[in-house]
């Protein structure tokens, strides 16, 4: 029996999205399939204290050797995919569906003269439209809600005959949950049209019906028919509540392989869902190393050649459709080649809308999670981290081990709100407590190189200051200890914490985001401070080249190098940290108020003024007495506000008017 701790995924690796998970035994067989509203919460529960697990769950987690998951868009999709895979893999621990029990479907008997909506199980019948599957509770609620908007007959044949014979509808007809075709309230033709609308809505055309009801509601409001508008409003809310796009189950005649990619500069994650008979019958995934300068169309072309050329369609047969995120290079030739392998036509296309585009989005989300999981596990591997640090030290020919790396990045929008970030990596792992943010102003904000020089100067000036303070404090402490020892009255202070030296620990390597200009600016900043034991490199984003100071040619690391991956990860983290700070600063700059310069006027009083006068224009036009009438504004503060706007007006009068066409100063 396997120890669950040996294959337990890290909590941060598991997404919080809805999804379906699969436990596999050492032979790769699926032994359990489950669904979850939050994959992270559910999977963590399996690896809790074994003493608290149910006997069946305890046996399952000890029989398994791995767990994997698939992210979907909603709880409904997870239910459908769980049901499909239980039927597909027949896992031995899924005892609920090992017999012929099935989830219920919502069905419309379109072959009858008066179509009927009902809950059905078992084999499918000709002339009946099916939607689902659902859980037993969800399907009743769904049908009850939809009958409010589409009052299709739901009674049995016996009830229908009795109503026709008596001339009175059943209870559903009286409460408007049925259009009562049995007594002629609606013609059979109109009732069939209502059933067709029901099917169209469940088939994915919700927007059309909701848009139509929105227009009808607006028309009712315009006619002052508020009762009808309220009913339509409730109908719209009901439809929006019921409808969840079914991205996992397609039309029954759909046979397709759905590919999606998620890539960065070095690697790409590939996911494929195999859809047969409208059901997702299987899933495969890879993480591949990208060829330098390869484009997405070329990646898709090589992917299709590998998947179908080496082992054909591993899921039984080539499908009629191959859905891809972008059109591959040589699309026509690839389609002919695949058609030859299948013996019939194969379409390669990019879905733009509808259920297939929604499924493509789900596959793409799984590719994103797969690449994130791959990178997280690679970064967390001690062996890989040690290898990366050693490779980087050897490639850069550095005489010291890279115990601490600091990376700097500058972020701005056309020279405004210039900021920079510093992220720290120790022993190959991020040390977020040492991250720092810098605001860059004045001449230093002129360009990226000036900003980089300014930031490095400030960071290492702090380092020199802290270093000097530490040396002085150490000398003073030693002198005091000697005096105390001589007096034989030394007292150990265990209550006062030692001062924290924020920048006293220097890095072995500084990485800057950029090429030769940024590297030279950083090296110049260190040289100006007299620091010669910190090494500087730059990582240029376009070709992932590593630049050294005063070098005419970059260092090219292999694409598969663990050292290059480490540099890339540190650079991306610095970029993320800088972008976050830049957005915060830009957001604050966009909300600057003309009242900010008034001394003593805080945020709550500004809000009170705006609420009292309605606008800034009203505040400017108010007198001191009128301002003092606002909540929280006293006479002194009211006078300060009047003086503030008066000084602004006087400053504006001192600015001469200029003819914008000629530049001539106009007379005032």
Domains defined for the chain, CATH in brackets: 4-97 (3.40.1440.10), 105-204 (no CATH), 256-378 (3.30.420), 397-475+502-588 (3.30.420.340), 593-668 (1.10.150.20)
Greater model confidence, 91 or 253: 91
The mean pLDDT value for 376-381 works out to 64
CA angle 49, 372, 307 (to 5 degrees): 110
- DSSP-derived 3-state class of residue 134: coil
CA distances from 450 to 26, 417, 508, 524 (A): 58, 15, 23, 11
Predicted confidence band at 316 (pLDDT cuts at 50, 70, 90)?
Answer: very low
Q: Taking each helix axis from N to C terminus, what angle separates 188-202 and 136-149, rounded to the nearest 10 degrees? A: 130
pLDDT value at residue 21: 93
Q: Is the pLDDT of residue 655 over 60?
A: no
The mean pLDDT value for 151-167 works out to 87
DSSP assignment letter at 151: -
pLDDT value at residue 483: 58
The mean pLDDT value for 130-146 works out to 69
Query: Which of 69-78, 143-152, 654-663 bottoms out in mean pLDDT, i.e. has the lowest?
Result: 654-663
- DSSP-derived 3-state class of residue 172: helix
Contact by Cβ (8 Å): 9, 43: yes
Residue 49 burial (10 A CB sphere; 0-12, 13-18, 19+): exposed
pLDDT value at residue 406: 92
Q: Is the pLDDT of residue 119 over 60?
A: yes
Contact by Cβ (8 Å): 530, 468: no
d(CA 601, CA 632): 10
Residue located via tokens 């040619």: 553
pLDDT value at residue 407: 93
The mean pLDDT value for 578-601 works out to 72
pLDDT value at residue 310: 59
CA dihedral 393, 398, 403, 407 (to 10 degrees): -90
Strand ordering across the sheet containing 19-24: 30-36, 19-24, 66-71
* Strand boundaries in 110-164, DSSP class E: 117-120, 128-131
- Distant-in-sequence, close-in-space partners of 563: CB < 8 Å, separation ≥ 6: 388, 389, 390, 391, 392, 395, 557
Q: Is the pLDDT of residue 492 over 60?
A: no
- Taking phi first (over 0 means left), then psi (-120 to 50 degrees means alpha), and beta for anything else, what does residue 278 get? left
Residue located via tokens 């409904």: 76
Tokens of 330: 């040589």
pLDDT value at residue 251: 65
Contact by Cβ (8 Å): 633, 609: yes
Greater model confidence, 601 or 45: 45
Query: Which of 203-207, 353-357, 436-440, 505-509 bottoms out in mean pLDDT, i.e. has the lowest?
Result: 203-207
The mean pLDDT value for 313-332 works out to 77
Residue 339 burial (10 A CB sphere; 0-12, 13-18, 19+): middle
Considering only CA atoms, give the Rg of the chain. Answer: 35
The mean pLDDT value for 630-642 works out to 85
pLDDT value at residue 660: 40
Q: Is the pLDDT of residue 304 over 90?
A: no
Tokens of 12: 């941060």
- Distant-in-sequence, close-in-space partners of 121: CB < 8 Å, separation ≥ 6: 101, 102, 103, 104, 105
Q: Is the pLDDT of residue 246 over 60?
A: no
Q: Report the candidate in 263, 255, 341, 271 with the shortest Cα–Cα distance to residue 297.
A: 263
Query: Which of 120-124, 208-212, 295-299, 590-594 bottoms out in mean pLDDT, i.e. has the lowest?
Result: 590-594
Predicted confidence band at 654 (pLDDT cuts at 50, 70, 90)?
Answer: very low
Greater model confidence, 431 or 73: 431
The mean pLDDT value for 198-203 works out to 77
The secondary structure element, H or E, covering residue 199 is: helix 188-202
Tell how strand 509-513 and strand 429-430 pair up. Answer: unpaired
pLDDT value at residue 23: 93
CA dihedral 91, 93, 95, 99 (to 10 degrees): 20
Tokens of 54: 């149910």
Q: Taking each helix axis from N to C terminus, what angle separates 562-590 and 382-396, rounded to the nearest 10 degrees? A: 90
Q: Is the pLDDT of residue 262 over 80?
A: yes
Predicted confidence band at 22 (pLDDT cuts at 50, 70, 90)?
Answer: very high
- DSSP-derived 3-state class of residue 124: coil
The secondary structure element, H or E, covering residue 412 is: strand 404-413
User: Across all residues in the chain, what is the average pLDDT?
Assistant: 78
d(CA 613, CA 616): 8
The mean pLDDT value for 195-214 works out to 78
Q: Is the pLDDT of residue 476 over 70?
A: no
Q: Is the pLDDT of residue 292 over 60?
A: no
- Number of neighbours of residue 167 by Cβ within 10 angstroms: 9
DSSP assignment letter at 531: -
Greater model confidence, 530 or 201: 530
The mean pLDDT value for 123-136 works out to 72
Q: Is the pLDDT of residue 183 over 70?
A: yes
- Number of neighbours of residue 382 by Cβ within 10 angstroms: 10
- DSSP-derived 3-state class of residue 226: helix
The mean pLDDT value for 479-495 works out to 51
The mean pLDDT value for 320-338 works out to 86
pLDDT value at residue 202: 73
Tell how strand 321-323 and strand 256-263 pair up. Answer: parallel
Query: Which of 154-163, 376-385, 531-540, 541-550 bottoms out in mean pLDDT, i.e. has the lowest?
Result: 376-385
- DSSP-derived 3-state class of residue 497: coil
Q: How do residues 424-459 score in pLDDT, each as one tens digit? A: 988 788 888 888 888 888 787 778 888 888 889 988
Tokens of 125: 């019948």
Q: Is the pLDDT of residue 339 over 80?
A: yes
Q: Is the pLDDT of residue 309 over 50?
A: yes
Tell how strand 347-349 and strand 436-439 pair up. Answer: unpaired
Q: Report the candidate in 99, 61, 100, 76 with the shortest Cα–Cα distance to residue 20.
A: 76
Q: What is the DSSP string of 608-654?
A: HHHHHHSSHHHHHH--HHHHHTSTT--HHHHHHHHHHHHHHHHHHHT
d(CA 550, CA 564): 21
Query: Could you check whether the bond before residue 238 is cis, i.e. omega within 30 degrees of 0?
Result: no
Contact by Cβ (8 Å): 279, 361: no
The rounded percent of the chain whose pLDDT value lies above 70 is 80
Contact by Cβ (8 Å): 217, 225: no
Predicted confidence band at 475 (pLDDT cuts at 50, 70, 90)?
Answer: low
Q: Is the pLDDT of residue 3 over 90?
A: no
């Amino acid at each position: 029996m396997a120890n669950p701790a040996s294959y337990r995924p890290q909590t941060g690796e598991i997404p919080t999205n809805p999804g379906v998970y699969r436990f596999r035994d050492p032979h790769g067989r699926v032994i359990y399939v489950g669904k979850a509203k939050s994959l992270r919460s559910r999977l963590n529960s399996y690896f809790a204290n074994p003493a608290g697990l149910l006997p069946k769950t305890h046996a399952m987690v000890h029989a398994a050797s791995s767990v994997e998951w698939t992210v979907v868009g909603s709880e409904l999709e997870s239910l459908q995919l769980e049901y499909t895979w239980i039927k597909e893999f027949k896992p031995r621990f899924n005892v609920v569906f090992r017999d012929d029990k099935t989830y219920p479907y919502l069905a419309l008997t379109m072959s009858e003269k008066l179509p009927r909506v009902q809950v059905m199980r078992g084999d499918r019948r000709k002339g009946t439209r099916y939607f689902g599957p659902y859980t037993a509770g969800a399907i009743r609620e769904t049908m009850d809600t939809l009958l409010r908007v589409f009052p299709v007959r739901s009674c049995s044949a016996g009830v229908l005959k009795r109503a026709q014979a008596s001339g009175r509808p059943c209870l559903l007809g009286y409460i408007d949950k049925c259009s009562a075709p049995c007594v002629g309230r609606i013609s059979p033709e109109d009732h069939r049209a209502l059933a067709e609308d029901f099917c169209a809505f469940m088939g994915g055309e919700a927007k059309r019906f909701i848009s139509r009801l929105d227009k009808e509601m607006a028309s009712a409001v315009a006619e002052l028919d508020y009762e009808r508008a309220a009913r339509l409003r409730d109908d719209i809310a009901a439809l929006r509540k019921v409808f969840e796009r079914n991205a996992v189950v397609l039309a029954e005649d759909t046979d397709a392989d759905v590919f999606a990619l998620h890539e960065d500069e070095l690697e790409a994650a590939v996911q494929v869902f195999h859809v047969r008979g409208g059901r997702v019958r299987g899933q495969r995934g890879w993480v591949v190393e990208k060829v330098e300068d390869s484009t997405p169309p070329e990646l898709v072309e090589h992917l299709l050649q590998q998947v179908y050329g080496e082992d054909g369609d591993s899921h039984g047969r080539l499908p009629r459709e191959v859905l891809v995120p972008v059109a591959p290079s040589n699309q026509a030739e690839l389609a002919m080649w695949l058609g030859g392998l299948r013996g019939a036509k194969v379409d390669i296309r990019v879905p733009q809308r509808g259920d297939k585009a929604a499924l493509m989005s789900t596959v793409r989300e799984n590719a994103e999670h797969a690449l994130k999981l791959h990178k997280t596990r690679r970064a967390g591997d001690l062996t890989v981290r040690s290898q990366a640090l050693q490779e980087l030290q050897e490639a850069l020919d550095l005489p010291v081990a890279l115990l601490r790396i600091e990376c700097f990045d500058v972020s701005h929008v056309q020279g405004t709100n210039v900021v920079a970030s510093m992220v720290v990596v120790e022993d190959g792992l991020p040390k977020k407590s040492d991250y720092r943010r810098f605001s860059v102003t004045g001449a230093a904000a002129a360009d990226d190189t000036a900003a980089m020089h300014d930031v490095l100067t400030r960071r290492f000036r702090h380092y020199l200051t802290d270093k000097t303070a530490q040396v002085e404090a150490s000398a003073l402490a030693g002198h005091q200890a000697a005096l105390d020892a001589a007096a034989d009255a030394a007292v150990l202070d265990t209550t006062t914490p030692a001062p924290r030296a924020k920048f006293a620990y220097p890095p072995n390597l500084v990485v800057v985001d950029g090429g030769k200009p940024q590297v030279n600016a950083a090296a110049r900043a260190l040289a100006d401070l007299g620091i010669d034991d910190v090494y500087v490199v730059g990582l240029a984003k376009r070709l992932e080249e590593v630049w050294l100071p005063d070098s005419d040619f970059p260092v090219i690391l292999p694409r598969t190098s663990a050292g290059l991956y480490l540099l890339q990860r540190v650079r991306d983290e610095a970029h993320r940290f800088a972008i976050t700070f830049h957005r915060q600063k830009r957001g604050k700059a966009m909300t600057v108020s003309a009242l900010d310069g008034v001394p003593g006027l805080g945020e709550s009083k500004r809000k009170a003024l705006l609420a009292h006068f309605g606008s800034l224009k009203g505040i400017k036009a108010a007198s001191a007495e009128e301002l003092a009438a606002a909540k929280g504004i006293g006479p002194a503060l009211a006078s300060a506000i009047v003086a503030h706007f008066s000084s602004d007006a006087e400053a504006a009068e001192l600015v001469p008017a200029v003819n914008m066409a000629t530049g001539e100063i106009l007379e005032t």
